[in-house]
Structure 1
């Protein structure tokens, strides 16, 4: 890969937002250099490329940074017209995909975050909130005829995989389920089947390593609510 088309991804191995970008690059067949960031000691380059949020992921293309995972995914799709499309070409379908992608980020993930910070009855209430949001997501995508279980990894498949692909690790740490077959059979089938794709397995974090990190994250989440 020449300097004139150099691609660098700054991320962290357990970040679902970084994994979104990694998966998109691999699906498109785009070679890139990966830089693992330590968010407790952020590199000067990360601070330079994302001075506002100081977060990963950041995609650097020809020395120019692009931040925020959903923005990066659209940038990748618009810049490299190779491989599978991440967003559909039809404007109405594209609008529908964007709507549900925003629903995942603005509603589902916020509800999941409540589970990490709670116990007992409060956690049960948070879990039911997540399950309800998942029901809305499944019914909404079915009603708009969005294909979410195709083997071509589009935006929604990428978001579902990186959000819930490691659901067994979440369940082990949290003690509650966030992806339930009886609640959302279509989403459950989609995630479990797509998890078997070689390109997905290639970027999937090791289960035991992820569980260890998530246990630390849960402890820190408790501390943040009691301080």
Structure 2
């Protein structure tokens, strides 16, 4: 393999997240160089390649790093068309795979480790929780992957990997989880602007930062609204720190995002994810009584949010200001009352 096409995977042999990527590469028949990382003494490369989470795995392809195991797997599947596909071709089937992979990662991993790390009554509770979640997975497999005993595509080919809203029902088939739904929409309806870029590396970056917004910023933003005093000060500090991380990421990967993520006035998945959380930031600031979006500290985020707010689709779908303020005030009051009891 030539130097410019060199593929390097940084990981730790015991990590299930590393193992996810290792299996994906091997199933596709893609040669790669493996670098074992010591998580107690992280290498400078890991800190450079993944400055946001400073975690493994990291795949480096043609000198470009991709982080987060599921983001990497989709990047691999979209970049190398040789070998068996890691996700099915049908958009609905792809949506179901994405949903259940997220369920396994977000629900089963931690609960399984809780069983291993505890004992006595605490372990009994962890086992009970794990068995309940495995039952949910079992029911899902029966409905969506009845032949999975012969691997998930039900044809012997190598594997890819409680109900919440929103749920999209298309031709009688339900699709759950917002980001899963958005990718399903993008893959099913080709009219209109694409919601993700066509280039696999750019798609990987969008998926990474959308997950960052969802997993890191969403909860922290609501913590600011739900608290007061010293607790709120800590939440604001944490939020501003994470917004700084996002600002740095935007500068590196989406420098023209002030004109929306495609740089041409079209909205995509990244714009949607940010707009949903911080589109009404002025309302959030008014109700919480704190400054969140500072044009001096995060100028790219500031200009980006302004561009999102002016998009005709967003303007048309934004509720009246007084309605948003009233709703958020009730939400804050209920949270503060609950914490006081």
Q: TM-score when scaled to structure 1?
A: 0.73
For residue 318 of structure 2, what is the aligned residue in structure 1?
Answer: 204
For residue 299 of structure 2, what is the aligned residue in structure 1?
Answer: 185
* Other structure's SS at 1:168 match: helix
User: CA 1:201–1:133 in structure 2 vs 1: closer, same or farther (change >3 Å)?
Assistant: same
Alignment check: 8 A CA contact 1:148 1:156 kept: no
Query: Which consecutive unaligned segments of at least 5 residues does structure 1 have?
Result: 1-51
| Structure number with larger C-alpha Rg | 2
User: CA 1:117–1:71 in structure 2 vs 1: closer, same or farther (change >3 Å)?
Assistant: same
The reply on whether 1:58 has 2:177 as its aligned counterpart is no
Q: 1:92: how far off?
A: 0.8
For residue 51 of structure 2, what is the aligned residue in structure 1?
Answer: none
User: CA 1:145–1:173 in structure 2 vs 1: closer, same or farther (change >3 Å)?
Assistant: closer
141-150 or 199-208, larger mean C-alpha shift: 141-150
* Residues 1-227 of structure 1 mapped to structure 2, 5 A cutoff: 52-53=162-163, 55-145=164-254, 147-149=256-258, 150=260, 151-227=265-341
For residue 23 of structure 2, what is the aligned residue in structure 1?
Answer: none
Q: 1:186: how far off?
A: 0.5
Greater relative contact order (Cα 8 A, min sep 6): structure 1 or 2? 1
Distance 1:209 1:56 in 2: 22
Query: Which consecutive unaligned segments of at least 5 residues does structure 2 have?
Result: 1-161
Alignment check: 8 A CA contact 2:223 2:235 kept: yes
Alignment check: 8 A CA contact 1:134 1:184 kept: yes
Distance 1:99 1:224 in 2: 34
Distance 1:155 1:146 in 2: 16
Q: 1:142: how far off?
A: 1.6
For residue 97 of structure 2, what is the aligned residue in structure 1?
Answer: none
Distance 2:231 2:338 in 1: 16
Distance 2:172 2:283 in 1: 36
Paired residue total: 175
Q: TM-score when scaled to structure 2?
A: 0.49
User: CA 1:99–1:146 in structure 2 vs 1: closer, same or farther (change >3 Å)?
Assistant: farther
Alignment check: 8 A CA contact 1:118 1:222 kept: yes
Alignment check: 8 A CA contact 1:131 1:183 kept: no
Q: 1:75: how far off?
A: 0.6
Distance 1:222 1:148 in 2: 36
Alignment check: 8 A CA contact 2:275 2:305 kept: yes
* Other structure's SS at 2:168 match: strand
Distance 1:107 1:225 in 2: 22
Distance 2:198 2:338 in 1: 43
Instruction: Write the deviation string for residues 43-85 of structure 1: whole angstroms up to 9, x where unpaired.
Output: xxxxxxxxx13x3221111111111111111010011011111
Stretches of 4+ moved more than 3 A in 1? none
Distance 1:144 1:201 in 2: 27
